[in-house]
């Protein structure tokens, strides 16, 4: 590692877009040591193989890991296959079906594949925690558990709240942070990354390393991004996420649907815009010198560009403008064959999958959301017979080309 950047330069990059570093002094020490000894710092990130689809919220922490890679450090991705095979740690959900070995492997593959958009996979060390956790005996586990107390476990906000609100916490949930901490011990991690929701677990890892006479890891937390609804955290279970494998059009549109108040955060955490530009954007948002819509357009382009290409971003933008600004029809519309016989329009809407029930279709007609070739349909008994192609439009963004 001859050309390692200076500690200051490293810290500048590391500090970008993080919530908290515990502690900076320790990190600097580790970096200094690494530089002096020409030994990379070991940076750990754990992932949950039960959710294979990544969204741009996950990307924040992945990007941070990438930063460490760029600085010449050793990134380690820990696939939590062991914990994944046992079940769900976040007590609320019911018995999530346990994943089989094969499912976990497949998910892990998908994860790495998707993460490769952000990480340098060639330099990435990938490990499965079943390797060591699966080897532990019950006695080992008890010994491990002996390093922690219930009171300290209850320090975790989530546990504390659930305890207070009489929401069940099962014993095995206490073991998850310990298991995760064990990963750090095994890997002799210098740094562990995670979302702010992981802070507690990361600290447990730190404490366990101490218990095992290791130099405790530095923990770095990254913010959890709000979803497109602007209310909940971005998560697959609410449909408020932007998946990193989504089509450019979908990605662009979903970005445009975030509340204006989120523009700044998205710029800061979901894109690669340099700090100088970021501060300019913040300024523009504050003094309202630029229409927020235009900033959001820029944001949407940035995001699509990261996961697709600039070209795709521009095309997506064009399409978006077409539909929502010019109120035009999309460039390409799916065709749906209905034959020359007269059919109830409602039936067509349901059969084609545009809406899920006649009831819903009817509501939409009543609300004036259904148009045929631009003409509003007001009668839900409307019967259609197609001689030439017709454009069926439901709401603002559902289109179908009906062909005989």
Q: Which is nearer to RNA, 70 or 232 (CB)?
A: 232
Is residue 373 part of the contact set for RNA (CB under 7 A)? Answer: no
* Among 96, 293, 318, 389, interactor with RNA by CB under 7 A: 293
* Among 368, 373, 383, 404, interactor with RNA by CB under 7 A: 368
Question: How far is 212 from 312, CA to CA, in rounded Å?
Answer: 51
* Among 156, 296, 301, 308, interactor with RNA by CB under 7 A: 296
Q: Is beta strand 398-403 parallel, antiparallel or unpaired with respect to 335-337?
A: parallel
Q: In angstroms, what CA-CA distances link 11 with 24, 41, 190, 203, 329?
A: 9, 13, 15, 21, 49
3-state secondary structure 198-261: HHHHHHHHHHHHHHCCCCCCEEEEECCCECCCCCCECCCCCCCCCECCCCHHHHHHHHHCCCHH
Is residue 367 part of the contact set for RNA (CB under 7 A)? Answer: yes
Q: Which is nearer to RNA, 363 or 389 (CB)?
A: 363
Q: Any idea which residue has 């890997």 for tokens?
A: 187
Is residue 238 part of the contact set for RNA (CB under 7 A)? Answer: yes
Binding mask 76-115 for RNA (x = CB under 7 A): ----------------x-----------------------
Q: Which SS3 state, helix, strand or coil, does residue 21 take?
A: strand
CB of 205 to RNA, least distance (A): 26
* Among 23, 96, 109, 259, interactor with RNA by CB under 7 A: 259
Q: How many residues bind RNA (CB under 7 A)?
A: 52
* Count of all residues that appear for the chain in the document: 404
Q: Which is nearer to RNA, 206 or 308 (CB)?
A: 308
Question: How far is 83 from 50, CA to CA, in rounded Å?
Answer: 9
Binding mask 303-342 for RNA (x = CB under 7 A): -----------------x---xx-----------------
Question: How far is 73 from 16, CA to CA, in rounded Å?
Answer: 17
* Among 9, 113, 125, 167, interactor with RNA by CB under 7 A: 167
366 — phi, psi (to 5°)?
A: -60, -30
* Among 158, 229, 236, 278, interactor with RNA by CB under 7 A: 229
Is residue 257 part of the contact set for RNA (CB under 7 A)? Answer: yes
CB of 125 to RNA, least distance (A): 37
Is residue 200 part of the contact set for RNA (CB under 7 A)? Answer: no
CB of 18 to RNA, least distance (A): 27
CB of 293 to RNA, least distance (A): 4
CB of 142 to RNA, least distance (A): 22
* Among 56, 78, 124, 350, interactor with RNA by CB under 7 A: 350
CB of 285 to RNA, least distance (A): 9
Helix and strand element counts for the chain (H, E): 18, 13
Q: Which stretch binds RNA (CB under 7 A): 22-30, 70-78, 187-195, 349-357?
A: 349-357
CB within 8 A of 92, min separation 6: which ones?
Answer: 167
Question: How far is 99 from 138, CA to CA, in rounded Å?
Answer: 22
Is residue 151 part of the contact set for RNA (CB under 7 A)? Answer: no
Q: Which stretch binds RNA (CB under 7 A): 42-50, 142-150, 159-167, 305-313?
A: 159-167
Question: CA torsion angle for 199, 205, 206, 212 (degrees, to 10)?
Answer: 170
Half-sphere exposure of 166 (CA within 13 A, CB side): 0
Question: How far is 90 from 235, CA to CA, in rounded Å?
Answer: 14
CB atoms within 10 A of CB 335: 10
CB of 180 within 8 A of CB of 172?
no
CB of 323 to RNA, least distance (A): 7
Binding site for RNA (CB under 7 A): 92, 163, 165-170, 228-232, 238-240, 249-250, 252-254, 256-261, 291-293, 296, 320, 324-325, 350, 356-360, 363-364, 367-369, 380-381, 394-398
């Amino acid at each position: 590692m001859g050309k390692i950047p200076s500690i200051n330069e490293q810290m500048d990059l590391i500090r970008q877009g993080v919530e908290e570093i515990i502690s900076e002094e320790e990190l600097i020490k580790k970096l200094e040591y690494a530089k002096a000894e020409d030994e990379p710092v070991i940076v750990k990130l754990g992932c949950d193989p039960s959710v294979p689809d990544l969204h741009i919220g996950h990307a924040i922490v992945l990007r941070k890991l990438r930063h460490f890679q760029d600085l010449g450090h050793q990134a380690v991705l820990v696939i939590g296959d062991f914990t994944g095979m046992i079940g769900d740690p976040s007590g609320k959900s019911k018995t999530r079906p346990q994943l089989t070995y094969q499912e976990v492997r497949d998910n892990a593959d998908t994860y790495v594949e998707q993460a490769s958009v952000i990480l340098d996979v060639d330099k990435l060390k990938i490990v499965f925690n079943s390797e060591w956790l699966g080897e532990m005996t019950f006695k080992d586990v008890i010994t491990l558990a002996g390093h922690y107390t219930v009171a300290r476990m209850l320090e975790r906000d989530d546990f504390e709240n659930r305890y207070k609100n009489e929401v069940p916490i099962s014993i095995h949930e206490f073991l998850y942070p310990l298991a995760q901490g064990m990963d750090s011990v095994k890997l002799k991690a210098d740094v562990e990354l995670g979302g702010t929701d992981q802070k507690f677990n990361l600290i447990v890892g730190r404490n366990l390393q101490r218990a095992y006479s290791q130099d405790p890891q530095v923990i770095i937390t990254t913010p959890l991004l709000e979803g497109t609804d602007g209310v909940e955290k971005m998560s697959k279970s609410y449909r408020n996420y932007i998946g990193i494998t989504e089509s450019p059009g979908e990605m662009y549109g979903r970005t445009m649907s975030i509340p204006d108040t989120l523009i700044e955060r998205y710029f800061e955490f979901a894109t690669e815009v340099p700090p100088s530009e970021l501060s300019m954007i913040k300024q523009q948002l504050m003094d309202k010198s630029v229409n927020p819509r235009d900033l959001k357009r820029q944001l949407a382009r940035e995001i699509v560009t990261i996961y697709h290409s600039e070209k795709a971003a521009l095309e997506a933008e064009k399409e978006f403008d077409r539909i929502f600004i010019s109120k035009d029809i999309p460039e390409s519309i799916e065709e749906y064959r209905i034959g020359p016989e007269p059919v109830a329009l409602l039936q067509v809407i349901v059969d084609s999958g545009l809406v899920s029930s006649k009831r819903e279709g009817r509501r939409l007609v009543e609300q004036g959301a259904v148009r045929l070739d631009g003409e509003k349909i007001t009668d839900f008994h409307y019967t259609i017979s197609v001689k030439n192609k017709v454009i069926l439009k439901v709401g603002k963004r559902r289109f179908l080309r009906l062909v005989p």
